[in-house]
Structure 1
Amino acid sequence: MCGTVGLFTGCQALTYCPKKVILGDTGDADSTADDEYQSPFRTWYSKASVRKSPRRMVEEGDDDAFFFSPELVPVARHPLVMELPPGTFREILLQHLYRYLDFTAKLEYLVVNRTALGIAQGSVRVDIPEEMRLDAYKIYCDEAYHTLFSVDLLQQVQQRSGVRAKLPEEPYFLTRLRQYLETLDASRRPLVELLFVVVSETLISASLAEVPADDGVHPTVRAVIRDHAADEGRHHTYFAMLVRYLWAQLDDEARRFASRIVPTLINFFLAPDTPALLDELRGYGVKADTAQQILAETYTAEALATHARITARQTVRIFAALGALDDSAARDAFENSGLLIE
């Protein structure tokens, strides 16, 4: 579910790839489809959060703690935002948490679980080992639980803080995917949806590594994200292997198509949702031109490119190993998206 990284575009804290923190001991994500499948879910029954973690409750106390790491919310640290009335800074962090939890829930149950169930039941037509199909059911259970604890935490924080969530009806990643699918022939759409999930599950999110280690963040938020991170390491490894099985079964034309659209799918997650951010700033009484200035100075071309390269590094490696960059048009698409610049 690392697709939530788009919420942290421009974050200065993401100066390294926290792959080891997130993946833990789940296995080598660089194995090939020719290898015998080695399940990253061998310890799932004892280690999955849905199997062992308690319900995380927002208890009384810790009222001075933030509900999200300020370092992971670039707009909150802009000098003009820091000049806003007292309480605005904390509300910006609260609204970011709400967006993060809402994004997580909807990505899991509207997108990832649809694909996970299709893999498990065989409607996603990729020839894989039976053990891999069974593991897809485990992913389905994980993602359903991630949805539950995200919605549960969102509701608890609203009640505790007294600040209501201001959320779009449709998260920006879904809007972008839906609009893109409408431009494609129906025969292309299943492959695009599968690749979209592969991208979402292989991007590396700073939040999953940074927030649990931030003592300034409310302990319940830290615990929920820590639970999530433990599960997502297994998912990352699984989908890195799944795409190798998929690639081996695509014909040359389908491979070329897939190679060329991966940067677009990555961008669906990483391009900031500037209209929503603009509306939020205006809601705090910021004038339109000032809000535009804040966003322009926060989301510079350099910040966007750096964030994209770091966050998508593992995803790019996966597709490069498949030979996706051997196609000149695909390589151009990756380079034009800033994903190959060292």
Structure 2
Amino acid sequence: MKLTTLLASAAMVLGLASGAIAQDKTKVGFIYVGPIGDGGWTYHHDVGRKAIEEKFGDKVETVYQESVPEGADAERAITQMALNGADLIFTTSFGYMDPTNNVAKKFPNVKFEHATGYKTAPNVSVYSARFYEGRAIQGLIAGEMTETNIVGYIGSFPIPEVIRGINSAYIQAKKVNPDVEFKIIWAYTWFDPAKEADAAKVLIEQGADVILQHTDSTAPLAAAEAAGNVIGFGQASDMSEYADGPRVSSIIDDWAPYYIDRTQAVMDGTWETVNTWHGIDKGMVVIGQITDRVPAEVKAEALALKDSIESGEYHPFTGPLNKQDGSVWLADGEVADDGTLAGMNFYVEGIEGDIPQ
């Protein structure tokens, strides 16, 4: 056999081998609604992406696209990621729900995971965290620490996830402080530091000395720090750069174990559609350090509430509770079912104002 033939045969074998190796690498993609440097929601999803790389090393390749608007832009971005060979795609914002399912129909061999949504398909799973458990603890601290009895709340969009959080925080705040009042501003954005800062400033001007937020940047904490006598909480991550100032605790979303588990399932060929909604007990919701700015007795109350939620002894939505219009929602001792919580579209009694449509 001629030398050139031998070399060609060897090159073909090497090419096939390298192709097999390349095919063995699982490609995992992420679509983000904000920048990975937002310090909150997207930042912690990206922490989860990096955890996949750390866990699996050269067995995986991860890719991401940040600051993808919800809607048509999201569908284009998800489609491109699938076309580029992703085996598993995590889409990490509520507004990606329909775009995710639309693309999934066109790529039945790709697995999709949508965060905070409720629409599944044979190749689409959904996952979320019980953020409202953390909001309950924040509400307790807010109700105990406010001196003006006004707590400001910056909402992103009036979807069940956000409405649940407002209600949960208010219920606990009201239990420890019957005089507390919530003022709510809707920012209509997940991440826009300027809008978030403006909302915080307006709430502070209205007398709020505690700011809660369901938006992704640290801008509300910066506004609280500038005001000097206002406290706030980290959202979706610890936001620890403000721990020596206004940030008295935080809700941390720990996605890493879920992301590792679902990537492993794709690699093993055991992936199947699931609907996951975990909380403090499973470690998907973590309560960040409660700082010394919180009085010791309040800290003890907050930690006791955390422990009771974690053990299942207490549920943040336990009756007696009425709806905003005064109609009975939950009888004494009755616990809200997940279906009602997942579709929550009403305020509880005592919260003023209407939910935007």
- TM-score in same-fold range (> 0.5): no
Task: Give the number of the structure whose residues are more often strand, by fraction.
Answer: 2
* Category of TM-score, reference length = shorter chain: under 0.3
Between 1 and 2, higher relative CO (CA 8 Å, sep ≥ 6) is seen in 1
Kindly name which structure, 1 or 2, has the bigger radius of gyration based on alpha carbons: 2
TM-score by length of 1: 0.28
